[in-house]
């Protein structure tokens, strides 16, 4: 009798490369691996980047992007797909059509649009195209500046939860609205999950950690949630476990030094 061999639990990340290793594809692969799944990748762009900044960006040609997507999606069964920064309408449309063609339906989308400085990272036209991709996702994970672009108004403590609901209903997707940009005199950080299928709101609290070593947190959060979805957890549990994982990784890297700028979280030094 032939022995049935187990399949890897696999997650695909579609994002840009960070040569410094703190964010993008590199952070995704570390997070997926640390949380217990096999990581595959499709690279949309390469960067010349370190802890101090981004010095150059090279877009991967669309024809090669298509070949990357076809190669992995035709061969490997993925339990979830994480999408990071998609820098142009052509890239967005290519990724969207390929995922639809291969019937991929567990997508965690980190709608990267705004730099830490507050500057837009992608063009207005690309933002419009990205909005069209949101309904294809099972979950989107915007921070407050990105969420403000999606719903066209400012977000504060008073309308924080309502804003998550507004995004979810407008784009027909579940939303994890990250509260790191909220100004609060408290020792806790709060994120809010709106589950569009159940209309339920879940508040997620974690201790606030006093450190600047937070490079790559958004990438790591979305990819860890995708991993827990791949492993079979329902949405609310996967989101809570992802938030806990990133908070622990920040805490374990809070005093570590990699380079001269904003240092990354510690993906693997977990309790």
Active site residues: 178, 214, 216-219
Helix, coil or strand: residue 105: coil
Asked whether the beta carbons of 121 and 114 are under 8 A apart, the reply is yes
Q: How far apart are CA 142 and CA 122, in angstroms?
A: 15
Q: H helices within 114-195, ranges in order?
A: 124-133, 144-151, 160-171
Express the helix, strand and coil content of the chain in percent, nearest 5 each.
40, 25, 40
Contacts of 157 (CB under 8 A, 6+ apart): 182, 184
Q: How far apart are CA 219 and CA 141, in angstroms?
A: 10
Q: How far apart are CA 153 and CA 130, in angstroms?
A: 18
Name the helix (H) or strand (E) containing 202.
strand 200-207
For residue 55, give both structure tokens.
């010095």
How does 191-203 read in b/e, with b if 16+ C-beta sit within 10 Å? bbbbbbeeeeebe
DSSP 182: S
Enumerate the β-bridge partners of residue 13.
41, 82
């Amino acid at each position: 009798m032939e022995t049935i061999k187990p399949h890897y639990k696999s997650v695909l990340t579609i994002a840009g490369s960070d040569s410094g290793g703190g964010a993008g594809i590199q952070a995704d692969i570390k997070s997926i691996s640390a949380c217990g799944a096999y990581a595959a990748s499709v690279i949309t762009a390469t960067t010349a980047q370190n802890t101090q900044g981004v010095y150059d960006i090279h877009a991967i040609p669309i024809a090669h992007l298509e070949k990357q997507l076809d190669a992995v999606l035709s061969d490997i069964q993925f339990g979830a797909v994480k999408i990071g920064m998609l820098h142009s309408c052509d890239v967005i449309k290519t990724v969207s059509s390929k995922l639809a063609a291969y019937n991929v339906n567990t997508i965690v989308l980190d709608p990267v649009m705004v730099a830490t400085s507050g500057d837009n990272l992608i063009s207005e036209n690309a933002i419009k195209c990205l909005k069209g991709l949101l309904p294809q996702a099972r979950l989107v994970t915007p921070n407050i500046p990105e969420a403000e672009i999606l719903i066209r108004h400012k977000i504060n403590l008073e309308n924080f939860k309502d804003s998550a609901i507004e995004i979810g209903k407008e784009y027909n997707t579940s939303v994890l609205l990250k509260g790191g940009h909220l100004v609060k005199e408290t020792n806790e950080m709060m994120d809010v999950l709106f589950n569009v299928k159940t209309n339920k709101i879940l508040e997620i609290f974690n201790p606030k950690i006093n450190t600047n070593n937070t490079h790559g947190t958004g990438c790591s959060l979305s990819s860890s949630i995708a991993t827990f979805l791949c492993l079979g957890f329902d949405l609310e549990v996967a989101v809570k476990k992802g938030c806990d994982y990133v908070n622990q990784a920040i805490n374990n890297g809070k005093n570590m030094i990699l380079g001269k700028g904003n240092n990354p979280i510690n993906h693997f030094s977990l309790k």
